[in-house]
Amino acid sequence: MEWLTPRFGFSYIGCLFLLLLFIPNLLWTKNRPQGYSPSGEIKVLSALEGTGQVLVTSMALCFADLDLYPCN
């Protein structure tokens, strides 16, 4: 059951995935729709979204399992 053991280390594939997610968000923040107000969002869902973003970012960068490596 070697495949269940996580490999720790920097994941360049995880970094690439996160860049593909963050770049559109950065472009959206520069070009927000007129009349947009974040006050209409539900606070609990915003907190869960922020927590999920932090956890996914840290896990995608800390586990090198996504990286390409030769099979034995």
Assess contact for 69 and 13: CB atoms under 8 A: no
**Interatomic CA distance for residues 69 and 72, integer angstroms:** 9
72: in domain = no
32: in domain = no
Q: Tell me which of 50 and 72 has the higher pLDDT.
A: 50
As to burial, measured by CB atoms within 10 angstroms (0-12 exposed, 13-18 middle, 19+ buried), residue 14 is buried
12: in domain = yes
- DSSP 3-state helix, strand, coil percentages of the chain (rounded to 5)? 65, 5, 30
**Number of structural domains, the chain?**
1
pLDDT tens-digit map of 1-59: 566 677 787 877 788 888 888 888 889 889 888 888 878 889 999 899 889 888 888 88
- Taking 70 as the threshold, does the pLDDT of residue 72 lie above it? no
Which domain covers residue 55, as residue numbers? 1-25+45-64
56: in domain = yes
